[in-house]
Amino acid sequence: MSTSFAHPYTFDPKYTRSVAYFSMEYAIHQPLKIYAGGLGYLAGSHMRSAAQLLQNLVGVGILWKYGYYDQVRQPDQRMGVSFVEKVHGFLESTNIKFKIRVNHSTVTVTAYYLPPHHFGTVPMFLLSTDLPENDYLAQTITHKLYDPNPETRIAQSILLGIGGVRLLDELGMIPDIYHLNESHALPLVFALYEKWQDWQKVQEHLVFTNHTPEAGGNQKTDMRFLERLSFFGQVPTDEVRRYFQPEGDILDHTLAALQLAKVSNGVSRMHTRTLRQMYSNRPQLEPIVSITNAQNEHYWADARLYEHLRNQDDEAITHRKKHLKHPLLEEIADQTGKLYKPEVLTIVWARRFAGYKRADLLLHDLERFHRLIANSAFPVQFIWAGKPYPADYQGIGIFDRIVDLSKHYPNCAILTGYELRLSKILKQGADVWLNTPRVTREASGTSGMTAAMNGAINVSTLDGWIPEFIRDKVNGFVIPPVDSQLSTFEQDQADAGQLYDLLEQVVIPMYYQQPAQWLSVMKNSLDDVVPYFDSDRMAAEYYDRLYNG
């Protein structure tokens, strides 16, 4: 690889095997808006930890001209979607150009370089088709992350996979391992087969991470549609059928990645069990191991809280946590005109708005909700934040419902612009981090990890990473499990009832009546979340269990 793009450090002997990490999104720092949510947050932390551990790894992604989208408000305060061109003056042109085939047409590709010193990452390369040599249709491939147009989405996968392999070739870098962070870059396997003409050799160099059991995140596509769009590159479609043996001429992208990777992983123990069950009729699949997601402590954790924890200074911890609320209270006042109080228990629900995450679980019984937030003896203040997919009308509908409800309560607020900056402010300011997915639907979920690193206490259903972390009433609070065989409505009803009971009978009284016990739970949470849920552990584990295997 050109010395212009080399790692700025000598590799640790444990991590010398070269790895190229392919992800559709990365959440690195607020100025680089090329991410949508949890997948990007995870990838961003991985790139930081890989650098901190002196690993021989590079990141490959896409430079999105309009990012994901900007979340704005309509005149009635409901959610709006805005696409604004992003300018990243800190990125450098690689001056590399090459061509790929999309829909049997030639598309010119370039790449930009994110130097490691800007944000403390490994070297990263971001592909773009936004070039004057391309027609407008080709340029739009890199306009919007997760474009709702199915043809554009497939073109984005071709760019990341085939274009990513071509870029590494142009750079003179032939990595030992190609890591698919989700199946978006699946076409890279066809680019490798085209070079090597050997599926077994492709398998020896491929690993795969799945991040969700949700159908929407595990794409299935008609083979003829993929063939028309050049998804398989120059590999004959009959050869693809012969190797992958798709059912009914439908290619399951996740299954294809699982079939071909030498090792795959789920992102929590619970998710790995779910993933194995999903494909239990395919016993010939290569091993699926569990590597639980994590987040970068160096970027996310409040250093002063941890300093006070090490010094066993309880008074300083309490003072610091109240101090951390002030930027959040200012943000709420600026966005909503509401003046929240630092001494009042602050409960935050913030993550991507998706139906199964149930942002509106607290609203299931409005009478009980009103009783909860109108209790002057034990006051609470609620905050919601999160970005639905711009075409997810159910998620937007939930957001708008909370907007309308919040207008009637001085202690309810919903914020827009849930990106890295706001995410950090919310986690620093929250007393409670509320996590309410339907059990088995959240593969990992990492927002609660970074919340815990800032003194917020998790109140959560037992899903994703939570069963590996939480000790009920010791370092967090568990919403008691309900029968998963119940209908969705019945599960929501039962979970809502359990949540109201938990808040009313345990969480809120403890905050006001047992401050020493509350502080103990917070301290245990701070102590338990690191080092295991720091991404340094995760990045090291990827080398130990996937790359060096």
Q: What is the pLDDT of residues 471-491, one digit of tens each?
A: 999 999 999 999 888 899 999
pLDDT score, position 2 = 57
> Which residues of the chain are in CATH 3.40.50.2000 domains?
3-295+537-547, 297-533
Which two tokens mark 247? 């059912």
Q: Confidence band (pLDDT; 50, 70, 90) for 213?
A: confident
Return the percentage of the chain with pLDDT > 90, whole number.
92
**Residue 233 in this model has a pLDDT that exceeds 70:** yes
Which two tokens mark 454? 């800032």
pLDDT score, position 3 = 65
Residue 317, number of CB atoms within 10 A of its CB:
22
- Return d(Cα 30, Cα 40) in angstroms, integer: 12
Please, what CATH class does the domain formed by 3-295+537-547 belong to?
Answer: alpha beta
- Return d(Cα 481, Cα 464) in angstroms, integer: 13
Query: Helix 253-260 crosses helix 237-244 at what angle (to 10 degrees)?
Result: 70
Q: Confidence band (pLDDT; 50, 70, 90) for 541?
A: very high
Which two tokens mark 345? 């228990």
End-to-end, the C-alpha distance of the chain in Å comes to 24
The whole model's pTM is what? 0.96
Q: Confidence band (pLDDT; 50, 70, 90) for 440?
A: confident
Which two tokens mark 515? 């401050």
518's CB contacts (< 8 A; 6+ apart) are 457, 510, 511
Distances (CA, A) of 353 to 3, 349, 438: 43, 10, 13
Fold of 297-533: Rossmann fold (3.40.50)
